[in-house]
Amino acid sequence: MRIALFGSTRGVGRQILERAGDLGFGVRALARNAQALPEIPGVEVVEGNVLDPGAVFRAVNGCDAVVIALGNTKNNPDFVVSSGTEIVLQVMKKLGVQRVIAITSLGVGDSQDCVPGFFRLLMKTVLKKTMLDKEKQEALLRQSGLDWTAIRPAGLIDGDVSGHARTGTSLDIVAGRVSRADVAQFVLTELRANEYIGQTPWIT
């Protein structure tokens, strides 16, 4: 399976990039600066911006599935996650690519009560714009008509695959912490299993 990856230079996206080959995936990664990514067997880098439909087309064309691991940085415009996701979904429809997995967050939508109180406070203050961006992203996925999954990680930390991460869809949990590597592993597993199509599983 060949996947188009958006948000590959850091965080969960970088973990997916580095682990995909070992699990038999080919990757085409879109990056604004191709030099920011190391040479990895099975990885093709397309230089461009996710807000450029032409660059997105070049990344998605010929791929079997898409992974969106976009995040906000100082160099990005407001709402780049939802704006970029909208462009990616439009291109997927044009190319007939059906499968998409996006990384959102616990605390989005109906999972607000799954996060600790201090994080709910952050969601209403310093993270308000970020969470709104992810809310818009999930809404776009739901409306897309594609085979989508929105994976909602708990608090992200560095570290290797632990083997102890829990996943599910029940909202009767309280988020803890989870490594970016665990989330990447879940994404790659779900690409083959297709267990959560049309759902918003969490991982913690």
- Per-residue pLDDT, 116: 65
- 130-134: Cβ within 8 A, 24+ apart: 130/72, 131/105, 131/107, 132/79, 133/72, 133/78, 133/79, 133/80, 133/81, 133/82, 134/81, 134/82, 134/104, 134/105, 134/108
Cβ atoms of residues 201 and 168 within 8 Å: yes
Question: Which burial class, exposed, middle or buried, applies to 173 when counting CB atoms under 10 A from its CB (0-12, 13-18, 19+)?
Answer: middle
Cα separation, 61 vs 157, whole angstroms: 33
Strand partners, 151: 103
Q: What's CA 9's distance to the chain center, in Å? A: 12
Domains of the chain by residue range: 2-203
CATH code given to domain 2-203? 3.40.50.720
The per-residue pLDDT for range 140-175, each reduced to its tens digit, is 999 999 999 999 999 888 998 888 899 999 888 888
Residue the block writes with tokens 């990039």: 17
Tokens representing 139?
């809404």
The per-residue pLDDT for range 27-86, each reduced to its tens digit, is 999 999 888 888 888 899 999 999 999 999 999 999 999 999 998 776 777 789 999 999
- Per-residue pLDDT, 178: 93
Q: Is the pLDDT of residue 112 over 90?
A: no
Cβ atoms of residues 161 and 182 within 8 Å: yes
Closest listed residue to residue 69, CA positions, set 55, 50, 53 = 50
Cβ atoms of residues 5 and 69 within 8 Å: yes
Secondary structure of 53-116 as H, E, C letters: HHHHHHHHCCCCEEEECCCCCCCCCCCHHHHHHHHHHHHHHHHCCCEEEEECCCCCHHHHHHCC
- Per-residue pLDDT, 17: 95
